Every structure is written in C-alpha cells, then in structure tokens.
Structure 1
C-alpha cells in the first residue's frame, strides 16, 4: 500500500466510515487486546460500539467520581510523604500512570490492588506490555511475528499477555457465576446498594438488537482495551497540563482560585459531578494542553474508497493515511502562534470561529474515542484536587517530546511539587 501523510485533518472532510484502521501498526497489540473497539472493524466494530455506548452514559460515570477522588487522594498522600522525606522533584508520568491504572481497575473490575502503594503483578504486566509494543515498533526486523517471539522481548510479551488475560478471565467467570446464581433482578438490586455498575457488569448485561450478548472473549477484549487505552492517554494529558501550568504560574493560580472558590465551604474537599461545569477556566487549560500535546499524536486509516479533496486531487482507495493530530493542532493556518500556550483559544466565542476538526485530541467521526467524557472527567477531578493541595513548579527547561504509543517526555516529565497549607 502507498502511504500519504495528511497534515491537517480539516482538509479531509469525507465520510469517516470509509476509512478503516490501518492494521500494520495496530497488529502488534492484537495478541493483547483481541478484537476490541480499537482493533475491530466492519459489522463487529459497529455492533460492539452500539453495545458499549451505554457504558459511558453519565449515569454510569457519575458514581466513578468517588473513585477518581479517592485515587487522587492516594497519589497526593504519597506526594506529601515523599516531600517530607526530601523528594520534591517527581516524574509526573510515573505517578499519574499508576493513579490512572488504580482508577481504571476500580471502574472496570471493582478491584483495588492498592497499586499506588505496593507492587501489583497485573499493573506491572500492563506497563510492560505498553513498553514492549512501543519498543517493537522501532525495530523493523521484529515486526515479523516468527522472529519477535524467538526473542526475550517476545517471550516477555507472551508471558505478560497471559497474566493480563488470566486476571480478566477470572473476573468475568466469577461475575458470570454471580449473575447466574442471583438472576438479573437480584444482581441489579445488589449493585444498586453500592451505587456502582462497573465496566464488566455493563458488558455482561449488554444485549444487541437481537437480544444477543457479548461472549466472554469479547468482554475480555473490551475490558483489556479500556485498561490499555484509558491509562496512558489520561496520564499523558494530565502530566502535560501540569507542565504547562508550572510554566505559566498566572494560569495555575487562576485555576487554583476557581477550585478554591468552588469548594470553599465544603468538607471534605471533593469534586462532585455537578462541579464539572463550574470549572470553565480549568477546562480551557486542559484543552489548550491537549492541543499542544495531544496524548495520541497520530492515527492511521486505510481508505476503502476514493476520497476527493477540495482542490480536486483524489486519495485512491487502498492508500493508508497517517492523520497527524499533532500537525493539525500546530497548523499556523488554523492556530495563530501555535506554539504559545493560550487557554483563551477555548473561550466559547473563539470556539465558534473554528472548524470542529481543528481540535481533535479524541479523534473524530464515528470512530472517535468512546471514553472521552470519562477521560475529561478524570482529568478535571485530578487537576482540580492537585492544584488545591500543591503548587507545581518547573525549572523552565524545555521538555523533549517523545512520541510512543502516547506522547511522552524524554527521560520522564519531572516537576517540583510544594504542598500548600490549605490542603484537603
């Protein structure tokens, strides 16, 4: 196949359903993630997307607010302890990735591994799989499966896959047994007491228009996909927004005042669902960071039919298009002074003037990120609580971007944290 790099997605406005995902790169994830939403195509993808959409309804997401607050509290308690021991410079990616994995394990499986405080074999396996896939992509000879699985890295990949699959399978089997013995009505009544349906519950209860549910293999694929897609991306988004706010203390202080005003008479200091709409400037700061440092900087699609561009040129069927989200977000024709961090770009008045395809951190079209509300919710909660409790500082050296599966920083993203007296 031919490759075509498209710098600005706003130039290509053909129907989104004609561009299937290019499987060359994504195939490295297949043994781990199976046929989940990220990797499936055609009728299977359409059916699963329809069945999974209710899992991200706000009624399901609302109870997760408690989990986001608790996971942030655990991370912040660890930061307080590290600062008291003399460690004030912390790698945001390291700490926030563990925090997002902690949250996801609770939201997906209702399982608390306490992974932020002690080693977890399951969490370590997910982190290793992410690293191994990124490393394999850089070694062309190892793109061949038969060579890759002869190497020590390939054997480690297989071992980590088995561990992750065994964990997910065990939860599914245990939950199926409970559902079978209790029946749906009693199962839902028991869940109503805890006020939380986790991701596995929603998948087990999902039915398509013909009344057919998902197989255990399908559920495992979707759960493993959510664990993979949901941790590093959100950690990247949060790490980079803290970096930008450290470099712009005036914006950081304005966000902090917004949070302090919102929570001034509240104890404990906890972000609730209705608070999310009351943090407009903090939200603008997150979006501007997602523009400058989109967690997924590039996506690829294989055209299943010819696409005519506005100037009359045609992208032929069969071409794989590399759509640069990073390039779109830094296009000076769309974003004046694109390298400047300026949250006011996301004022309601300024948003009106731009194409909806100018800002695509969660991709666009039918195959956009199904979990974007989940991710934005978690980022708002964690950022608000972090700024309430800590002042974030940097040494003003430029961080070198490191695009892997997500956009990272070379050598980690190190920032200084100073506890604030206001605390929780």
Structure 2
C-alpha cells in the first residue's frame, strides 16, 4: 500500500514537472525540442562538443561576483587606454605572420591564442607575458597544461599548472597592492595618476573595491583576475580566428574592409588608427558581428541577460587586429571547412586554416 502511494506521488510529480516545463517552453515563443519530464532538454547535453553521443563534461566554472557588474560602468569609458596595448601586440602578431606569408597553410588558433593572452594579461593585470615571443614561459605552458588536463585524467598535472597560475597572479596582485598603498590611493577617478588611465585598470578596480569596503580578499581578487584571464583570451582568440576565416572566404568583403580603411586612414595605411578612427570602421564592425553570429565564441550561455553588457573591450581588440591584418596581408581560404565543436568556447576539431600573402 505504501509502495503504491509512493509510486502515485512519483507519477504526479513527473506529470506536474512535465506540464510546468511545457508551459514554460511555450511562454518563450521560440521553436525548439519538446522538453522531457524533470530533466527538460538536459538530455541534449549528453554529447561531446561536436554532437557525438558521449557524456557531457561539466566544467564547473565559477560565476563572476555580482557587484563587479555594477562597478564595470566606472571603467567602461576608459577602453581607449587599452588601445596602445592592442596596437603593440598586433604588430608582434603581424611580424609572426609575415614570416609565413608565402601562401602556405597557417593554423590560426595557436597563434591567435598567444596574441589574445598578451592583450588580456597586459590590459587586466598590467604585466606583459610576451607569450607570442616566449611560448616556453612557465605561465603560458601552465595554461596549456590546464587545458590539456580537461582531456586527460591526470590530476597531478592540473595541480602543478594551477600552482604556477595562482602564484604568478598572487605576486602581481601583491605588487600592485603595494603600489596603491605607496600612493595613498583610496578611490578611482579620472584625474588619478594610477587606476583607469593606465593598463592596471581592472586589477586596480578590484583592489580599491576592497579599500572602499566591499570586502574582497586576495583569494577573491585572484579568482576574478584569473576568470577574466582565462575567459577573456580564449573567447577573443575564437572571435579572431573565425573572423579571419570568414574574411578569407569572402574576397569582396575583404576588399570592402580595405576600402573602408583607406577612406578613414588616407594614404598612410601603415600608421596606427586612433580610437576615434576605429569607431568609424562600421563595415568592419558589421563583419565581426556577422562572423560572431555564424561562429559564436561562446556557443552555450547559461545565464539570462536582461540588458546589453560589456563587449566593447573585445570589439576594440577584434577591430585593431583584423583591420591591421587585412591592411598588411591578402587573406586566402584554406583547403578544408572547419568542424566547429563547442567546449567552453567554439573551437574546431580539424583546426581553422588560412593562407596569407603580403599586400603591395
């Protein structure tokens, strides 16, 4: 009798959950698969990153602290201060590619990931890793090892990699904390000699938020910095890779990008664009947004966003890099179509390749 009662309760819960999920899915008025009882569409995640039927890996990434969303507005207007960093690292990237501008196939992800890492490290932490020049550095290898761990069962490898990452981040944080103390800074403002007007902007924001009573300890600051470091360079690298791939596939689009820059920059295409001139590159921005629509850097989003948020940093970096590459090189498509796979970011199982030739 008790067993029958329990079974009846279970069936009622099953039916109730199904009705709730059906009603919820219809309220969005978006076409999609019918949800199952209790699990909804969770069964669709029981695949690998390319859609084959193996178990889904839960990466268990932590969320960004809520108060950072409100504080972000205080430094959003200072993106132009990151421009020199992007321009410097773009030149290093161009020099790396120039050596291979002979029409041979170039695998983009490894090259662009290092450029994006240099950009995010110097912008967020205020230190230059020179990853493009020193691929053997402990920090760069630690990031590669941590990514490799996601595909292997070797826990000790991850512990060693994380120790390098955590210690390096802590050292940078402590160094910057002492600099802030020495200057007696207790708030961020536009007239300060430190803070948002220089490349330490984000780290300063976290450190001074602690001074202002938000209670961030060094572990929390380290977590936030590393979250931006990991997620910031991978996502931007994906955007750059697929953006350049799309440009390579459409020569008429590539021509229009170049014509737009000739119109904005004039005869001297070798000079660095200003922040204002980058904002005028509307066609390039449309190309970037379309490539992101076709190949979204983050294919799975687990949050409901109620308003547009902070994409200006990435857009500036994408514009600087892609604009320079189109000015300096003729981008040609590779021999094979990429096979996108959605891990944490959109990668490709068979890589993403292009060919480049120097422009006159």
User: Under TM normalisation by the shorter chain, which class is it?
Assistant: 0.7 to 0.9
Tell me, what secondary structure is at the counterpart of 1:295?
Answer: coil
Aligned residue in 1 for 2:205: 202
2:125 to 98, 109, 127: 109
Shift of 1:385: 0.7
Deviations for 1:136-186, whole angstroms, at most 9, x for unmatched residues?
6xxxxxxxxxxxxxx4x2111111111111011011111112222331179
Deviation at 1:197? 3.7
**Whole-Å Cα distance in 2 between the matches of residues 9 and 278 of structure 1?**
40
Q: Which residue of 2 aligns with 1:373?
A: 312
How far does residue 253 in structure 1 lie from its aligned partner after superposition?
Answer: 0.7
TM-score, normalised to structure 2, is 0.77
Structure with a larger share of its residues in strand:
1
Change (3 A) 1:280 1:10: farther
Give matches, 1:245-264, under 5 Å: 245-264=247-266
Matches within 5 A, 1:22-61: 28-30=59-61, 36-37=63-64, 45-55=65-75, 57-59=76-78, 61=79
Instruction: Check whether the contact 1:51–1:207 (CA below 8 A) recurs between aligned residues.
Output: no
Distance in 2 between residues matched to 1:242 and 1:181, nearest whole Å: 45
- SS in structure 1 opposite 2:99? helix
* Post-superposition offset of 1:229: 0.9
From 97, 108, 122, the counterpart of 2:139: 122
Note closer, same or farther for the CA distance 1:385–1:9 as it changes in structure 2 (3 Å cut): farther
Residue 364 (1) aligns with residue 301 (2): no
| Residue ranges of structure 1 left out of the alignment (5+ in a row) | 13-21, 38-44, 137-150, 302-362
Q: Which has the higher contact order (CA 8 A, sep 6+)?
A: 1
> Which one of the candidate residues 102, 111, 115 is aligned to 1:95?
111
2:217 counterpart of 1:215: yes
- 2:117 and 2:178 map into 1 onto residues whose CA distance is 26
Cα distance change on mapping 1:178 and 1:267 into 2, 3 Å: same
| Residues 195 and 201, structure 2, Cα contact 8 Å, conserved in 1 | no
Question: In the superposition, relative to structure 1, how do residues 245 and 268 fare at CA in structure 2: closer, same or farther (>3 Å)?
Answer: closer
Are the structure 2 counterparts of residues 185 and 50 from structure 1 closer, same or farther at C-alpha, using a change threshold of 3 Å?
Answer: closer
SS of alignment partner, residue 302 of structure 2: strand
C-alpha distance in 1 between matches for 2:295 and 2:196 = 41
Between Structure 1 and Structure 2, how many residues are aligned? 316
Query: Which among 272, 277, 286 is matched to residue 275 of structure 1?
Result: 277
Q: How far apart in 2 are the matches of 1:278 and 1:78?
A: 28
CA distance in 2, matches of 1:246, 1:267: 20
Alpha-carbon contact 1:52-1:203 (below 8 Å) kept = no
Which structure is larger by alpha-carbon Rg, 1 or 2?
Answer: 2
**Distance of 2:68 and 2:196 partners within structure 1:** 28
CA deviation after TM superposition for structure 1 residue 49, in Å: 2.4
Write the distance in 1 (CA, Å) between the matches of 2:92 and 2:123. 16
Are residues 298 and 186 of structure 1, via their aligned partners in 2, closer, same or farther at CA, if it must alter by over 3 Å?
Answer: closer
Deviation at 1:252, TM superposition (A): 0.8
- TM-score, length-normalised on structure 1? 0.66
Which residue in the other structure is 2:155 paired with?
Answer: 154
